[in-house]
């Protein structure tokens, strides 16, 4: 992920996981594995609209935050 001097919320930074999701990092990793197992990487493939450019962990963080 490119950082142009902005704060970037990313699942690779575990300090962002708890305040934004309420999940401990281990719980969050388990959630990401579950989403991947259930086809999280393929859900947007073949559908019209913007294709995701974030990795799966960042997408899960984004959805869990909202």
Taking CA atoms, 47 is separated from 1, 34, 36, 40, in Å, by: 24, 22, 18, 13
Q: What residue segments make up the domains of the chain, in order of their start?
A: 21-41+54-66
End-to-end CA distance of the chain: 21
Question: Which of 6-10, 38-42, 59-63 shows the lowest per-residue confidence on average (mean pLDDT)?
Answer: 6-10
- Percentage of residues of the chain with pLDDT beyond 90: 23
The whole-angstrom separation of Cα 43 and Cα 15 is: 28
Residue 14 in this model has a pLDDT that exceeds 80: yes
Looking at residues 7-20, what average pLDDT do you find? Answer: 81
Looking at residues 20-42, what average pLDDT do you find? Answer: 89
Q: Which pLDDT value is given to residue 7?
A: 56
Taking CA atoms, 55 is separated from 11, 58, 62, in Å, by: 9, 6, 11
Residue 45 in this model has a pLDDT that exceeds 60: no
């Amino acid at each position: 992920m490119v950082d142009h001097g902005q704060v970037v919320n990313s699942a690779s930074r575990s300090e962002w996981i708890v305040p934004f999701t309420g999940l401990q990092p281990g719980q969050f990793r388990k959630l990401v594995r579950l989403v991947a197992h259930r086809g999280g990487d393929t859900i947007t493939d073949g559908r019209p609209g913007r294709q995701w450019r974030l990795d799966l962990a960042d997408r899960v963080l984004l959805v869990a935050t909202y």
